[in-house]
Structure formats: C-alpha cells, structure tokens
Amino acid sequence: MLINGKDVAIIETKYKLHERDLDKLLNKQYPDFQKLYPEYANYKHHFALASFYIDDELKDEALEKGVIILQRKGDLVDTFLPKD
C-alpha cells in the first residue's frame, strides 16, 4: 500500500500473475482494505498488479477494470495505465 496526500494505491506483487490474483485484489483485498482502514474512505483509490510475467489477455482485462500494470523487463519496469 502506498499513501500520498489524498491518494492510496493498493499493489499486489507476484512473480507470475494469474487470473485469481486480479480477482483477489478487487473482490477480497479491496473490500478488506475498506473495512480495516476507514480513515482512507475519502482518498482516491488506485489498484496495481506488479509482476515479472503477465499474460497479455490478463493484462488487457486488468487494464479494462482500471488496474495499473507494473511489469519488470530487465532492469526497467514498464508501466501500463488503464484506459480512461
């Protein structure tokens, strides 16, 4: 979790992402976060999945659901932002 001003980012980090990781982030971890940290209710919430490997179909699905993708490529991290 990252907090900055009025924004909160919840980031799930895995070596290889699977469909269940996206579902878990949105349907379990986020509702749990809302219950455990009500002090951030008025903050803007962002979601991200960080991984060495992510299937292109899963990447597209995550982006469609508003989830940022952070994918390591060598010494760099590619960032894919959801479409508005």
Query: Residues 19-75: pLDDT tens digits?
Result: 999 999 999 999 999 999 999 999 999 999 999 999 999 999 999 999 999 999 888
Domain boundaries, the chain: 18-80
Quote the pLDDT of residue 83.
Answer: 81
Compute the average pLDDT of residues 7-14: 95
17 by Cβ neighbours in 10 Å (0-12 / 13-18 / 19+) ranks as buried
